[in-house]
Amino acid sequence: MALALLGELDLLARTLPITRWEPALVFEIRQQLVRVLKAANHRKDADKPALARRIAELQAELTVLDPARALAFA
């Protein structure tokens, strides 16, 4: 459930210019999405390569949004 909600929020953040208005909010959405994806990656039936790619993409985006917070999160 959390994955679906965070995914939808991330999609909305990508389609709206919210990144310019509230980069901290977008960072928080993507940070929580990374946490949920990392938890999902530990499941036996997980598509680990796809999850790893998505996590890496999100971490790169976090670094662009706020390098210091992204480093602290990693």
* pLDDT at residue 20, rounded to an integer: 80
- Is 66 within 8 Å of 23 (Cβ atoms)? yes
- The pTM assigned to this predicted structure is 0.84
Helix or strand or coil: residue 47? coil
Which residues, at least 6 apart from 65, have a Cβ–Cβ distance to it below 8 Å? 19, 23, 26, 27, 30
Please tell me the predicted confidence (pLDDT) of residue 71: 94
Domain boundaries defined on the chain: 2-73
pLDDT in tens, 3-55: 899 999 888 888 888 778 889 999 999 999 999 999 999 999 999 999 999 99
Residue-level pLDDT at 1: 76
C-beta of residue 36 within 8 angstroms of C-beta of residue 6? yes
Question: DSSP letters of 4-35?
Answer: HHHHHHHHHHHHSTHHHH-HHHHHHHHHHHHH
